[in-house]
Amino acid sequence: MSFQGDISVIGAGTMGNGIAHVFAQYGFRVTLIDISQEQLDKAIATIGRNLDRMVTKEVISKEKKEETLKHITTSTSIAEGVKTAGLVVEAATENTDLKLKIFQQADAAAPADCILASNTSSISITRIAAVTKRPQRVIGMHFMNPVPVMKLVEIITNPATTKEVTDTIVSLSKVLGKVPCVVNDFPGFIANRILMPMINEAIYSLQEGVAGVTEIDTIMKLGMAHPMGPLQLADLIGLDVCLSIINVLYEGFGNPKYKPCPLLEDMVKEGKLGIKTGEGFYVYTAGSKELVVSGKFK
């Protein structure tokens, strides 16, 4: 039988709002949880705007938009927000200690049969599972950004994950119109083990003056038929998120080839995190569709 429980999404940032959107659009009741009420309000506004865009493009009806929004409630408490969940999807900041704490809290408050999933880009699912009393019901459910658009869900099992839990998450991903791929638990899994070294190398190329932002992105876009260049993609992902993932690869494999580029570290220190802060390799102004290179790289 297909999964029919309630969904709790922990973290209402870039990914959390997209994950809540998709589950709600497919008829699930969703509780979106964040420590920040401001982030929750922002997330609901973003979901509304993204649904409006889908109405304009005639992907969904106006009624469907209203119905989707009605399926989402918000909470600032994990203990309250996961009480009736059949599945928790954690999409909080990419930080190991934070995720371990969140999983302990969710494990203590969620029903015994609830599946606990993480949308982490790189952190060990085995390590996360070990802090819970239900490692057999802990799994990685890694959505891609932007969640309503991107088809892939990378599913990461830990050695204790049961076949029943994996099968449930595989079939649930299909219900959401996604294509699931099951992989084993290694640093960065598959998606980011391959993507992040490319982004890091693009930033090294910029730092070393091999080419400018526009040239690097144009070469990778037109030369490799990528939909966007690696620097633009880094801005979309969030430079802080990229740095955290690259550090997980660097520490996890102990191999200097994954060393984060100093320019990336500097940009994170400066708070230039990409789209979410309005500036990264490019600058972003509300309503503008034009790609403008940041003054720092002109």
Q: How far is the CB of 59 from ligand NAD (least distance, A)?
A: 22
Binding mask 64-93 for ligand NAD (x = CB under 6 A): ---------------------------xxx
Catalytic residue among 121, 122, 173, 200: 121
145 is catalytic: no
- Residue from 60, 69, 98, 130 touching ligand NAD (CB under 6 A): that is 98
How open is the CA angle 122-284-120, to the nearest 5 degrees?
10
61 is catalytic: no
142 is catalytic: yes
241 binds ligand NAD (CB under 6 A): yes
SS3 (DSSP) at 92: coil
Alpha helical stretches, state H, the chain: 14-25, 37-56, 62-70, 78-81, 96-109, 125-130, 163-175, 191-207, 213-224, 230-237, 239-253, 262-269
Binding mask 24-53 for ligand NAD (x = CB under 6 A): ---------xxxx--x--------------
Please count the residues of this chain forming the interface with ligand NAD, following the rule CB under 6 A: 27
Nearer to ligand NAD, 32 or 165 (CB): 32
**Which residues within the stretch 219-238 sit at the binding site for ligand NAD (CB under 6 A)?**
237-238
Separation CA 226–CA 152 (nearest Å): 16
How does DSSP classify residue 160? T
Binding mask 1-20 for ligand NAD (x = CB under 6 A): ---------xxxxxxx----
- DSSP 3-state percent helix, strand, coil across the chain (nearest 5): 50, 15, 35
Alpha helical stretches, state H, 176-226: 191-207, 213-224
Separation CA 28–CA 26 (nearest Å): 6
Q: Enumerate binding residues for ligand NAD (CB under 6 A).
A: 10-16, 33-36, 39, 91-94, 98, 102, 119-121, 142, 145, 237-238, 241, 276
